[in-house]
Structure 1
Amino acid sequence: MMIRPAELAAIKAGTVDLAFRRWARPRVVVGTRMRTAVGLIEVTSVEQVSVTSLRAEDARRAGVSSLAALKQALAARSSDPAWRIGLTYAGPDPREALRATVPDAEEIAAINARLDRLDAASSYGAWTRATLDLIDRFPTVRAPDLAAQVGRETADFKKDVRKLKELGLTESLAIGYLLSPRGEAVVDAGLPAPRVRSPREQGSPLPRTIGAPATRALRELGVTTLEQVADYSAADLGAIHGVGPIAVTRLREAMAEQGLAYRQ
């Protein structure tokens, strides 16, 4: 179930708790937990509804500007039933805590055994350690560029990186990837000596929801954290090529969660 970034932010804030979709049959069930850019979103209800029965309150709870706009959005694929889906924020993605957990020797052995199984199941051959090493050596580099370095298709490469992310070994950025502290520990365990890396950025990272163009534009200015964004006014950011109104809004929302705000 696809949910737009603005809706995700509103669900997390508690101002949106409904979504409406045209589906031939339900694609989620009550209790489904979806991992999103803002954390876990849980499905609390799923019911078929008649579009004519919808009211302005439904539109408000779905974050839609008006009842007419909601009905217009549901006008497409009118041969499929309309569904009202209840949604709630269910907390941070558990992989976030896992990424920060540095494993001991026993855990590293278990992770390596899991990596061995992934390698053995792959038609491409052993890829897990090479991919971890590639991300470690080239952090924040675009996935297509990383895939090209190892002669792989981007889609397949990204699919495999998601398997490493499930183990808490990598972090996905708006552009490229980064090894987590957990991933660094696994890589270092296979080296003669721990790898020397640039210090991690201190502070709250830029949200992925601002998109790659805005992330790239901010990086070019040396801005990689929300704390650094707070040194700018909204007008300053809006004047930067690549940072559009949506990115400015997403950054404002992300900063508010950290008790930060744009410079006045």
Structure 2
Amino acid sequence: MLIKLPVLQGIVAGKVSLAFRRWDRPRVVVGTRLRTQVGVLEVLDVRKVKLEAVSDRAIKQAGFASREAFLKQQAIHPDRPLWKVKLRYAGDDPRAALRENSELSEDEVGAILERLARIDKASSRGPWTATYLRLIASQPGVRAPDLAAGLGLETLVFKRDVRKLKELGLTESLPVGYRISPRGSVILTRL
């Protein structure tokens, strides 16, 4: 579920608590935790609603300046059902603290290196984790499509793989592109 930064900031500030989406079927369920660039959001409720039944209060709770702005967004896929998603800020992304931790014991370094080896072994393309880490370290802030093209990969494949590195706290997303985290720098020196 993609949410624009101003809306995310509104959720963190407690000013926004709803999102409206045109989906064929719900893409999130109650209890889903979404990691975003401002932290973790939790889905509290998901329900199908009629466009004409959406109140001005609900429109404001979704961060829209006016009913007209809300209706303009909903006109993009009018053939799909409208879903109202209730959200709350659930705290910082645990990966943020993880990636800042560069004081790793030998056991921790060994465990991360083992995990990377397992990821590489499971890949149908062969080992890639060290290549990605070196590439991101040498080209911070470069767009994912450009990095992917340099490797001869589709952007979605590249991004999916980078998410695996992010889960380990080795990389982090920037407004454009990625960079190696302090934790990732420690691991990179050991590869």
Give the number of the structure whose alpha-carbon radius of gyration is greater. 1
Long gaps (5+) in structure 2: none
Q: Report deviation, 1:155.
A: 3.8
CA contact (8 A) 1:54 1:67 kept: no
Q: Deviations over 1:9-54 (max 9, x none)?
A: 2111111111122222211111111111211111111122222222
1:148 & 1:24 partners in 2: Cα distance? 32
**DSSP 3-state at the match of 1:30:** coil
Q: For residues 153 and 77 of structure 1, do their structure 2 counterparts lie closer, same or farther at Cα, with a shift above 3 Å needed?
A: closer
Write the letter of the residue equivalent to 1:113.
E
Long gaps (5+) in structure 1: 191-264
Q: TM-score, normalization: structure 1? A: 0.65
**DSSP 3-state at the match of 1:27:** coil
Q: Deviations over 1:144-166 (max 9, x none)?
A: 45445544444433332221111
Partner of 2:113: 112
Q: For residues 30 and 127 of structure 1, do their structure 2 counterparts lie closer, same or farther at Cα, with a shift above 3 Å needed?
A: same
Q: For residues 69 and 142 of structure 1, do their structure 2 counterparts lie closer, same or farther at Cα, with a shift above 3 Å needed?
A: closer
Partner of 1:11: 11
**Superposed, which structure 2 residues align to 1:153-192 within 5 Å?**
153-190=154-191
Write the letter of the residue equivalent to 2:80.
D
* Richer in strand (by share): 2
Q: Deviations over 1:137-189 (max 9, x none)?
A: 34334444544554444443333222111110012223332211111111223
Partner of 1:32: 32
Write the letter of the residue equivalent to 1:53.
A
Q: Deviations over 1:59-95 (max 9, x none)?
A: 1111112234434433444443322211111111111
Write the letter of the residue equivalent to 2:16.
V
Q: For residues 60 and 116 of structure 1, do their structure 2 counterparts lie closer, same or farther at Cα, with a shift above 3 Å needed?
A: same
Whether 2:60 is the aligned partner of 1:51: answer: no
1:133 & 1:121 partners in 2: Cα distance? 20
2:123 & 2:132 partners in 1: Cα distance? 13
Partner of 1:235: none
1:27 & 1:148 partners in 2: Cα distance? 30
Matched length:
190
CA RMSD of aligned residues (A): 2.2
Partner of 2:61: 61
Q: TM-score, normalization: structure 2? A: 0.87
Q: Report deviation, 1:7.
A: 1.2
Identity of aligned residues (%): 51
Q: For residues 21 and 183 of structure 1, do their structure 2 counterparts lie closer, same or farther at Cα, with a shift above 3 Å needed?
A: same
Q: For residues 82 and 118 of structure 1, do their structure 2 counterparts lie closer, same or farther at Cα, with a shift above 3 Å needed?
A: same
Partner of 1:122: 123
2:71 & 2:136 partners in 1: Cα distance? 45
1:135 & 1:71 partners in 2: Cα distance? 40
Whether 2:117 is the aligned partner of 1:131: answer: no
When structure 1 is superposed on structure 2, of 46-55 and 85-94 the one drifting more is 46-55
1:24 & 1:154 partners in 2: Cα distance? 25
